[in-house]
């Protein structure tokens, strides 16, 4: 079986309804919490399979994983994925990308919100004895698959059939082959500022035409246009990850923004993209506040089955 077959749902598929949840382990009884997470890992496949039978048209997708701190606490004697580190934050050019603590990460998407609710309701009963919810962000598919700033999202991300080589760990870290590195970041935008820009300025800021999605000539872009700042090359070859910018909005808090999720075979590629955005002062940073950020390892489905054994 290939690594791509064993992988969790780490491919390009933003979904109609989305939820991102981060958890903090209680750190009160390590053995009991490890047993609870083992049961969670064991139950997860059957819960997902049951829902896919009940509602096959929903296209349910799921990814579940661990941060460096979560992995070390739950599996202190186990080997660790080669590039799994605690994201402590990055800064540059007057901008901040904070690192925020989290131990566990869950990413669900489906065509029906009821499916998301049912999965979270069932799974929370298994994880709640061991961990508390830090953040739950409900996302949605905007018109035509656009980001909340109005531009079509993900046109430069690899297609699903090409995703494995960019998103899934291979033989370079054989013990964790089939896994993936997920970087999750929550951006809140000043939408009044953005809406106040003329369409032509927005296009120069992003680097593409707003309605046709055609890329602008380089001399028509701002020097810190998003598609320039987020582009990373090695020896002249562009490095890619599977990335999705999921819109969210909360009228009660007045916050509207983008939940960024990037799945990669190598965390170092994503990390270099973030450093490049800071170095060039990506235009999006000028009207945004980044609230959360952390790196997670998404085990293969095979390894997830092994983690279901409390021993």
Token pair belonging to 233:
């090359």
Other Cβ atoms closer than 10 A to 306: 12
SS (H, E, C) 155-191: CCCCCHHHCHHHHCCCHHHHHHCCCEEEEEEEEEECH
- Radius of gyration over every alpha carbon of the chain, rounded to an integer in angstroms: 19
Q: How many helices (H) and strands (E) does the chain have?
A: 10, 12
Chain length of the chain = 311
Instruction: Among 8-12, 103-107, 259-263, name the one with the lowest average pLDDT.
Output: 8-12
What tens digit of pLDDT does each residue of 27-69 get? 999 999 999 999 999 999 999 999 999 999 999 999 999 999 9
What tens digit of pLDDT does each residue of 157-200 get? 666 666 778 999 999 999 999 999 999 999 999 999 999 999 99
Looking at the DSSP assignment, which residues form a beta bridge with residue 261? Answer: 184, 244
* Distant-in-sequence, close-in-space partners of 19: CB < 8 Å, separation ≥ 6: 106, 107, 108, 109, 116, 120, 136, 137, 138, 139
Rounded distance between C-alpha atoms, residue 30 and residue 124, angstroms: 19
Element spanning 41, H or E:
helix 30-54
Looking at the 3D structure of the chain, how many domains does it have? 1
Torsion region of 207: left, alpha or beta (phi above 0 gives left; psi -120 to 50 gives alpha): left
Looking at the DSSP assignment, which residues form a beta bridge with residue 105? Answer: 22, 65
State the catalytic residue, choosing from 121, 153, 217, 218.
Answer: 153
pTM exceeds cut of 0.85 = yes
Is 153 in the active site?
yes
pLDDT at 106 over 60: yes
Average pLDDT score, the chain: 93
Rounded distance between C-alpha atoms, residue 24 and residue 103, angstroms: 5
* Distant-in-sequence, close-in-space partners of 38: CB < 8 Å, separation ≥ 6: 307, 308, 309, 310
What tens digit of pLDDT does each residue of 107-160 get? 999 999 999 999 999 999 999 999 999 999 999 999 999 999 999 876 666 666
SS (H, E, C) 234-299: ECCEEECCEEEEEEEEECCCCEEEEEEEEEECCHHHHHHHHHHHHHHCCHHHHHEEEEEEEEEEEC
Domain that holds residue 26: 3-307
Rounded distance between C-alpha atoms, residue 43 and residue 79, angstroms: 24
pLDDT of residue 160: 65
Residue for token pair 């990037």: 262
Within 13 Å, how many C-alpha atoms sit on residue 305's CB side? Answer: 9
């Amino acid at each position: 079986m290939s690594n791509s077959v064993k992988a969790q749902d780490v491919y390009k598929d933003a979904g109609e309804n989305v939820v991102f949840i981060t958890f903090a382990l209680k750190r009160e009884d390590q053995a009991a919490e490890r047993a609870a997470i083992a049961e969670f890992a064991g139950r997860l496949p059957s819960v997902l399979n049951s829902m896919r039978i009940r509602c096959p048209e929903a296209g349910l997708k799921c990814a579940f994983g661990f941060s460096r701190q979560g992995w070390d606490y739950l599996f202190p004697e186990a080997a660790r994925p080669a590039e799994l580190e605690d994201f402590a934050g990055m800064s540059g050019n007057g901008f901040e990308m904070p690192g925020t603590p989290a131990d566990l990460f869950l990413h669900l998407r489906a065509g029906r919100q009821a499916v998301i609710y049912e999965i979270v309701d069932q799974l929370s009963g298994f994880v709640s004895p061991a961990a508390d919810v830090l953040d739950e962000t409900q996302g949605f598919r905007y018109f035509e698959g656009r980001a909340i700033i109005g531009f079509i999202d993900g046109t430069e991300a690899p297609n699903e059939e090409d995703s494995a080589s960019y998103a899934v760990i291979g033989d370079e870290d054989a013990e964790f082959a089939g896994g993936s590195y997920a970087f999750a970041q929550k951006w809140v935008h000043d939408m009044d500022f953005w809406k106040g820009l003329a369409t032509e300025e927005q296009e120069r800021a992003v680097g593409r035409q707003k309605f046709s999605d055609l890329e602008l000539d380089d001399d028509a872009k701002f020097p810190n246009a998003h598609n320039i700042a987020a582009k990373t090359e090695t020896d002249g070859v562009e490095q890619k990850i599977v990335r999705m910018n999921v819109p969210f909005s909360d009228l009660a808090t007045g916050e509207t923004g983008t939940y960024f999720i990037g799945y990669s075979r190598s965390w170092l590629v994503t990390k270099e993209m973030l450093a490049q955005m800071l170095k060039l002062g990506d235009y999006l940073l000028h009207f945004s506040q980044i609230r959360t950020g952390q790196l997670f390892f998404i085990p293969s489905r095979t390894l997830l089955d092994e983690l279901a054994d409390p021993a």
